[in-house]
Amino acid sequence: MFYLFESDFLGLIPETFLLLGLSALLGYGVWYEKGRESDMTSHQLWIGGLCLVFTFILLCESPLMNMILCYNTLIIDGMSAFLKSLILISTLCIFGLSFAYLPQERIKAFEFIILLLLATLSLMLMVSSYDFISLYLAIEFQSLGLYVLAALKRDNEYSTEAGLKYFVLGAFSSGFLLFGASLIYGLTGTTNFEDLGLLFTGVGPTDLFTQGSIVVGLLFLSVAFLFKVSAAPFHMWSPDVYEGAPTVITAFFSIAPKLALFGVLIRVFYLGFFDFLFSWQQIFFFCSLASMVFGSFGALGQVKIKRLLAFSSIGHVGYMLIGLATGTLQGLQGIFLYLLVYMIMTINAFSVVLSLRTREGEPKFLLDLKNLNLKSPILAITLSITLFSMAGIPPLAGFLSKFYLFFAALDASLYSLAILGVLSSVISCFYYISLIKLMYFHKADEVELKPILPIDSQKGLLLGLSFFGILFIFLYPSPFFLLSHAAALSFS
Amino acid sequence: MNLFLAAFAALGISSSIMVIRANNPVYSVLYLILVFVNVSGILILQGLDFFAMIFLVVYVGAIAVLFLFVVMMLNIKVEEKQESMLRYLPVGGGIGLIFFLEVVIGLDKEFVPLNLLSLGPSYESEILPEYLHWGETLAQKTGIEAIGQVIYTYYFYYFFMASFILLVAMIGAILLTLHNDPKVKRQEVFEQNAREFSRTIQKAS
Amino acid sequence: MTEFFPIFIFLIISLGLSLILVGIPFIVAPQKADPEKISAYECGFDPFDDARGKFDIRFYLVAILFIIFDLEVSFLFPWSLVLGEISFFGFWTMIFFLLILTLGFVYEWKKGALDWE
């Protein structure tokens, strides 16, 4: 039997390494934890970060580029390599943010690191999944870890509420996913994406009776995924969860699962159900529109920083869904580019928010940003450039990615989506700019300047790198274009 | 056989209605156990004996116990009378109707004979795949053996994923529920067993 | 399927027997209740408060850990049945599965989730 899987284990070397590394870390942590809890988290962060770096190197050096593994349950291709490396980088950034955050919030549980590593592993497996069963298992694996991470501060009401809400709605959407997948399995007798794609080749709109139920299955699947990526009619949970979870976990939530879920969405709908393009295009069209509108209008009324960031991420998900709705390779490339830029911007925004910590704790409200210019001019300029980039103001990275997506939409004749996208990004400018006004032009008379705690070197490094990325990707975008193009080409 | 199916299904449905209609949450959980038992009866009728066993062991043996614990922990006495059932009926009934229609539509449909007639009669011979009659090629196996033969070999990945999920569940449950209060004295089994009375009892002089 | 028929007979008999045992006293036994008869007697006393108090989440933890090992054991059944046919590969997959869960077990042991105070 082993000869059947001989080379499969070669393809899974990065994941295997990550698994072995985190098992060793778990054993190390639980064995030597007694009496030195605070040292332990920092050890684990360093070693876990190292583990991620090695996994990244193994991933990049992997000689196997295109392969189907483990008896048609997993696949390696350009997209999986691209998204897996983004996931690893984002987890590494989260680790960088955690160095100062964990002691500040007195989180002594080293399981934080283990669960993050397990979640990373599951996200990597999720991007590779090639079959509904492996997809479902990977999603469950990922969500279980994330529910626990959201409720990590178990004495804090917000955090437990976040965990509970995330759990209930996550379980609900997993149920939808299962229902849709079992409908499709019941009608076709296969769960494999490629087999489904082959089976559906050239299906015309003739037999509505059979096809109708496939379309309903498809509807359930897309609702489940849209729940998970928190796209608009299904976004209710995300502001609460983002607000309640510990801030580094919020940063993780808003980056890594979205990277993996967009990979999965693309794999399911472009590989398995591409011949039903005109059915699912409408769903994503509507959801993308709704997410952009809800994202920008919902953010206008917010007073808390993390809720604002949650709404902004809903808006970004809407822009990315434009790329999905196009049904073209250009749209896919736009999504990949957007994901990359979104990752950089979100890392930057969250590291600024975490750097604003004063002696009294983390800033919660937008008003805490008042007069940031006087307190720390460099942080103020970083945050304002990032916000400009999120809004899509020209010479910044965010503009590049949005521009590319809108052009993809125009090429696919989705004119209304492109126009409304531009309009909603104009609306989103309002609240981004109102933040900047708060930082720079607020009257300075009644301020009591609480000093900001010094920023540790890891966070400084992250701030610098991501700021550099936001500023200069526009000047030399070709490597990123090439990377995202290579990722998109796996669906040509 | 149909009689058994009808009996199990009727009992299952009526007890599942009782799950949501019972006023006392403990009764709800007990009815839920009855539902699980009936469903495992249906599974046996389908020939899925292993799943019926798992259903009983996992759901009745463990999950129903968890439900009871939750009911106890939340300390709900008697649920308030659901006077507002009519309020939820349109939405719930609509969703239920959709699910029902979906199952009716989906039942007994196959996708494989891809609308041959619509393509015209000449394509028929080219498109129609040669079916392999699996029933003739396979040896007779019981359900549990059939599962065992694939899940540990061809689909070992699913099996490993199950172990990862269980590991995460273990870590998560302990992380979220275990409070180690340093003030509470704990059992130190090894030390307590290794104590010698000659060293511990001392003569007070 | 027919091998489950004895179980069905067993179910019928147990159902009937329990119904008879509960039902006969209702019919046969004389029921003349008076306040002295139905009140608590001997060592019994009226309960001080509701039996449904809140209790420690630790019980819940034990139940969850039980479920996890319950599932692990239920995976062992098919394995033991087909061990002769699945070659060494099948053997090692189960060993790997058990290793991962043993890791979890070591974790919960060292963490003290199984001790009682």
C46-76 tens-digit pLDDT: 767 766 666 677 888 888 888 899 899 999 9
With left for phi above 0 and alpha for psi between -120 and 50, is residue C104 left, alpha or beta?
A: alpha
Q: Is the ipTM of this complex over 0.85?
A: yes
Three-class SS state of A472? helix
Cβ atoms of A337 and A408 closer than 8 Å: no
Segment A204-211 long-range contacts (CB within 8 Å, at least 24 positions apart): A204/B115, A204/B118, A206/B115, A206/B118, A207/B115, A207/B118, A209/B105, A209/B109, A210/B109, A210/B110, A210/B111
Whichever domain contains B40, its CATH number is: 1.20.120.1200
Distance (Å, whole) CA C78 – CA B50 = 9
Q: Which two tokens stand for residue A127?
A: 């991007």
Q: Is residue C42 part of a domain?
A: yes
Q: Is residue B124 part of a domain?
A: no
Distance (Å, whole) CA C117 – CA C113 = 11
Distance (Å, whole) CA A113 – CA A445 = 44
- A245: closest CA among A374, A146, A104, A131? A146
What's the pTM value of the predicted model, to 2 decimals? 0.91
The residue out of B62, B79, B96 marking a domain boundary is B79
Beta partners for residue A74, in sequence order: A69, A129
Beta partners for residue A76, in sequence order: A67
Q: What are phi and psi for residue A361, nearest 5 degrees?
A: 125, -165
Q: Which two tokens stand for residue B79?
A: 């649920």
Distance (Å, whole) CA A300 – CA A393 = 18
Q: What's the helix, strand, coil split of chain C in %, to 5?
A: 70, 0, 30
Q: Is residue C116 part of a domain?
A: no
What is the distance in angstroms between the Cα of B74 and the nearest Cα belonging to chain A?
Answer: 15
- pLDDT tens-digit map of A226-266: 999 999 889 999 999 999 999 999 999 999 999 999 999 99
Q: Is residue B43 part of a domain?
A: yes
Q: Which residues 168-197 of chain B have a CB within 8 Å of chain A?
A: 168-169, 171-172, 175-176
Name the domain count of chain B. Answer: 2
The residue out of B64, B79, B94 marking a domain boundary is B79
Q: Is residue B38 part of a domain?
A: yes
Residues constituting chain A: 492
Residue spans per domain, chain A: 292-492
Q: Is residue C117 part of a domain?
A: no
Residues constituting chain B: 205
Distance (Å, whole) CA A40 – CA A28 = 9
CB proximity B161 to A under 8 Å: yes
Distance (Å, whole) CA B13 – CA B38 = 9
Which residue range(s) make up the domain with B3? 1-79
Q: Is residue C95 part of a domain?
A: yes
Mark yes or no for CB contact A138/B156 under 8 Å. Answer: no
Cβ atoms of A93 and A461 closer than 8 Å: no
E strand or H helix at B163, and its extent?
Answer: helix B156-177
Three-class SS state of A365? strand
pLDDT tens, residue order, chain B (205 aa): 789 899 999 999 999 999 988 888 888 889 999 999 999 999 998 888 889 989 998 888 888 888 888 777 776 666 555 566 677 788 888 988 987 887 777 666 655 554 444 455 555 555 555 666 666 676 677 888 889 999 999 999 999 999 999 999 999 999 988 876 666 666 777 778 888 777 777 777 6
Q: What is the DSSP letter of A131?
A: B
CB proximity C51 to B under 8 Å: no
| Residue A482: burial class (beta carbons within 10 Å; 0-12, 13-18, 19+) | exposed
Three-class SS state of A358? strand
Q: Is residue B127 part of a domain?
A: no
Q: Which two tokens stand for residue C44?
A: 């019994």
Name the domain count of chain C. Answer: 1
Q: Is the dihedral of CA A191, A192, A197, A201 positive or negative?
A: negative
Mark yes or no for CB contact B111/A73 under 8 Å. Answer: no
B-chain residue closest to A72, CA distance? B155
A-chain residue closest to B158, CA distance? A134
A114 contacts in B (CB within 8 Å)? 171
Q: What are phi and psi for residue B29, nearest 5 degrees?
A: -65, -40
